[in-house]
Amino acid sequence: MPKPVIFTIDDDASVLNSVERDLRAHYGQDYRVLPINSGQTALDYLQRLQQRSETVALFLVDQRMPEMSGV
């Protein structure tokens, strides 16, 4: 069974890389950390995970992004 997923979503590449690095360091053994740079890409990826019946444990999302809000 695949590890549960932690989504990190942010349009700022440097923030996204920092958050991903820290999450992998602390939770990488138990979770898959997926860094994604846009809300729409995250929604598309989420759909694929649902089709494969994979579990999402957490969405860590930037509130202000160009395409849509993090909410």
Q: In angstroms, rounded to a whole number, what is the distance separating the alpha carbons of residues 70 and 62?
A: 5
Q: What is the pLDDT of residues 40-49, one digit of tens each?
A: 899 999 999 9
pLDDT band for position 68 (cuts 50, 70, 90): confident
Q: Which two tokens stand for residue 22?
A: 């820290």
Q: What pLDDT is recorded for position 5?
A: 96
Burial class of residue 1 (count of CB atoms within 10 Å of its CB; 0-12, 13-18, 19+): exposed
- Cβ-contact 38, 67 below 8 angstroms: yes
For the stretch 3-31, pLDDT in tens is 999 999 998 999 999 999 999 999 999 99
Amino acid of residue 28: G
**What does the alpha-carbon distance between residue 68 and residue 25 come to, in Å, rounded to a whole number?**
29
Residue 65 predicted with pLDDT over 90 = no
Q: What is the pLDDT of residue 31?
A: 97
